Every structure is written in structure tokens, then in C-alpha cells.
Structure 1
Amino acid sequence: MNLTHAPLRVATGAYILNSGITKLGADAATAEQLHGFASTAYPFLSGQQPASFTKKVAIAEIAVGSALLTPKVPSAVAGLALAGFGAGLLGLYARVPGLRQPGSIRPSEAGVPIAKDVWLVGAGATLSLQGFFNGARRAGRRTAAKIGSAKDAAVDALPIGH
């Protein structure tokens, strides 16, 4: 993990991990509400039991939060998980009626708590892109070093002066 990614990973990871842990203890009314909200945006979820759905969401949040908080997980991987999670939340914003002002992408008062999750997508994309490009740069340097070593070995093996 790049040290400059630590503040972003800790802030988002802790928040998402806490959300998942909290959802593990959700009561039936909370599970019904969460499931109903998600089913409005994603109708294929309507066949799931609310308690089971809420537990799956909790486990997913715990996994994403833990990935962000675990230094051994590459930033590119943790960032992809975060961006995917954020995109799912923005899908709620785009599909649930009443969250946007009529004829606009701007949030209604009810939509502000969901619209603000756009930062998750931005943070995830930043981590992913920086992680990917930093990894590609390191791989390029390693390859260049190997080529340089091979060139030096080939030059040293030339019979010079014959």
C-alpha cells in the first residue's frame, strides 16, 4: 500500500466497516426498510428475504471496509471494491423516485444522504488508478533493469580485442 493512500483508505474503510457491523445487528423493521429501498432500485432483489438480504449487505460492507483497512490488499484491488460499492449506492440514487429534483440529477432533500456517496466512487477510482499505474510503473522499471543487466552481460561476453 502506498503510504499516501493510507488516510483515504482508513477513513473510508473504517466508515464502511462500521456500517456493515451495525447492519449485522439490524432488527426486522430495519431489514424490511433496507430491503424495500434496495428492491425499488433493483427489482431482482425483491425475491430475497429482508433479513437475509441485510446480512449479505452487511457482509459485503465488512469485506469492502476490511479490504481498505488491510495494508496487504493492493490499492488497485481495494479501490475497485470501493468504486463498485459506491456505484451500487449511486444506482439507488438514480432509480429510487423522490431522491432527485424533478427533471434534474440534483438531489432532493431526501436524496442528499445517498447522493453524497458519489465520493465513494471518486475515492475508489483514485485508489484503483493510482494503484494500477504505480504498479505498472514499478513493473516497467523492473523490466528495464532486467534488460539493462542482460545487455551488460551480453557486452561483457563479447570477445573484444580479437
Structure 2
Amino acid sequence: MNLSHAPLRLAIGAFVLNSGISKLTLEGQAAEGLHGMAAGAVPPLRRLDAPTFARLLAGTEIAIGSALLLPVVPSALVGAGLLGLGGGLMRVYWATPGLRRQGSVRPTEPGTAIAKDSWLVGAGLTLILDDLLHRGRRLKRRRHR
């Protein structure tokens, strides 16, 4: 892990880990609401029941959050996890009626809570690109020795 990635990984890792832990106990309407939004954006998720979906999402967030906090996990790998998580949230944002203003990419008041997660996509891409570019520079230096 590049030391410059530490602040980003710590902040996002703690947030995502906490989000996953909070979802471990989701039941009833809360689990159904979460599942309903996700299944509306990704129809194959309808095959899962709401509690199972909530547990899987919780586990995914716990895994990504933990990986971000562990410096031995390569930044490109945790960046890919963030990109997947953020991409899924952006899919929900684009597919769910009422989250965006009519004919616009701008969020409505209810859509802001999901639209703000676009930072996960940006952070994921940043970690991937920086890690790959940094790795490429190290390989070039080794060849020139």
C-alpha cells in the first residue's frame, strides 16, 4: 500500500465497515426497503429474499471495509471492491424513479443520500489507477538498474 493512500483508506474503510455492521441486524421493513430498491435496479436480485439480501450486502460491506483498513491488501484490489460497491449504488440511483430531477443527472432531495455515494466510484478508480501507475514506475526503475 502506498502511504499516501492511508488517509483515504482509513476514512472510507471505517465508514463502509460501520455501514456493513449496521446492516447485519436489518429485518422487516428496513430489509424489504433496501432489497426493493436494489431489486428495482438489478432485477435478478428479486430471487433473493430481503433478509438474505441484507446479510449479503452487510457481509460485502464488512469485507470491503476491512480490506481497506488492512494495509497488506493492495490498493488496486480494494479500489476494485469500492468501484463495484459504488457502481451498484449508482445503478440504483439511475434506475430508481424519483431519485433524480426530471431530465437531469442532479439528485432530488431523497436522491442525495445515494448520489453522494458517487465518491466511492471516484475513490475506487483513484486507488486502482494510482496503484497500477505506481507499480508500473517501480517496474521501469528495476529494468533500468
TM-score, length-normalised on structure 1? 0.87
Q: 2:45 aligns to what?
A: 45
Sequence identity percentage:
52
Amino acid of the residue matched to residue 97 of structure 1? P
**Higher relative CO (CA 8 A, sep ≥ 6), structure 1 or 2?**
2
- Consecutive unaligned residues in structure 1, runs of 5 or more: 146-162
Amino acid of the residue matched to residue 43 of structure 1? P
1:18-54 Cα distance to aligned partner (Å, 9 max, x none): 0001101112221111111111111111111111111
TM-score, length-normalised on structure 2? 0.97
Question: Matches of 1:73 and 1:111 in 2, distance apart?
Answer: 33
**Aligned Cα RMSD in Å?**
0.9
Q: SS of 1:25's equivalent?
A: coil
Q: 2:86 aligns to what?
A: 86
* Range moving further from structure 2, 128-137 or 24-33: 24-33
- Consecutive unaligned residues in structure 2, runs of 5 or more: none
- Would you say how many aligned residue pairs link Structure 1 and Structure 2? 145
1:77-136 Cα distance to aligned partner (Å, 9 max, x none): 111111111111000000000000001111111100000111111111111100111011
Runs of 4+ in 1 over 2 A off after TM superposition: none
Amino acid of the residue matched to residue 76 of structure 1? A
Q: Give the number of the structure whose alpha-carbon radius of gyration is greater.
A: 1
Question: Matches of 2:81 and 2:142 in 1, distance apart?
Answer: 28
